[in-house]
Amino acid sequence: MSSFVNINYSTQHSGVGRVESALDAAKQLHQGFSGTRGLATLLLSAIAAAIMVAAYQVMDSVAEGHLLVMWIALWAVAFAALALFAGAARNLASRLKASLDRWSRSLAEARADQRLWAIAQTDHRVMADLQMAKLREEAKTEIAQAAITTPAPRVARAELADTLASKKFGIYHYYCI
């Protein structure tokens, strides 16, 4: 006679489960932050600090008896500056972030092009691929110019593309990397 015993033991260590849930929470927390919002806050703080410095210099020339009133006025000016420049600082931060993203993307593309060119100078297969890509782009340009100058039916354009492609690409060997 056989009997089966089903004991429900956890297949995962409880400490591992806690660590995984903490890591998931940390990932979600990171997704909630925005670079634009942080940059806008930084710009607002800088503007408010500059206004507070100017107000403090004005307040410094006033006699000691009115110090509390001047501190209240100083903080009122600071909060008014924050309210006044919040939208402008947010717009400036988003534009700055977008321009920095474009700049870093262009630098990355330039580095990638330099690496590809260095590889192409040492490997003839990569150089052949680059030459073929260049010829394809030239053929597409010629086809587009021919289509603009002479409007023709779609079938004739396809035949023109085949003719140009066979003339351009017929003499090159294809390499597989």
pLDDT at 20: 84
pTM of the model: 0.40
**Residue in this structure with the two tokens 């691929």, named with its chain if needed:** 129
5: left (phi over 0), alpha (psi -120 to 50) or beta: beta
User: What is the reported pLDDT for 50?
Assistant: 80
Rg of the chain's alpha carbons, rounded to an integer?
A: 34
Q: Of 100, 130, 133, 134, whose CA–CA distance to 115 is shortest?
A: 130
pLDDT in tens, 63-72: 565 666 777 7
Q: What is the pLDDT of residue 71?
A: 75
For residue 12, the model assigns a pLDDT of: 75
DSSP 174: P
- Would you state the pLDDT for residue 148? 82
Write out the chain's pLDDT in tens, 177 residues.
566 666 677 777 777 788 888 888 777 766 665 666 777 777 777 877 887 787 777 766 665 656 667 777 777 887 787 778 788 878 888 898 899 999 999 999 999 999 999 999 999 998 999 899 999 999 999 888 887 877 555 555 555 555 555 555 554 545 445
Model pLDDT for residues 28-45, shown as the tens digit of each residue: 766 665 666 777 777 777
79 HSE (CA, 13 A, CB side): 5
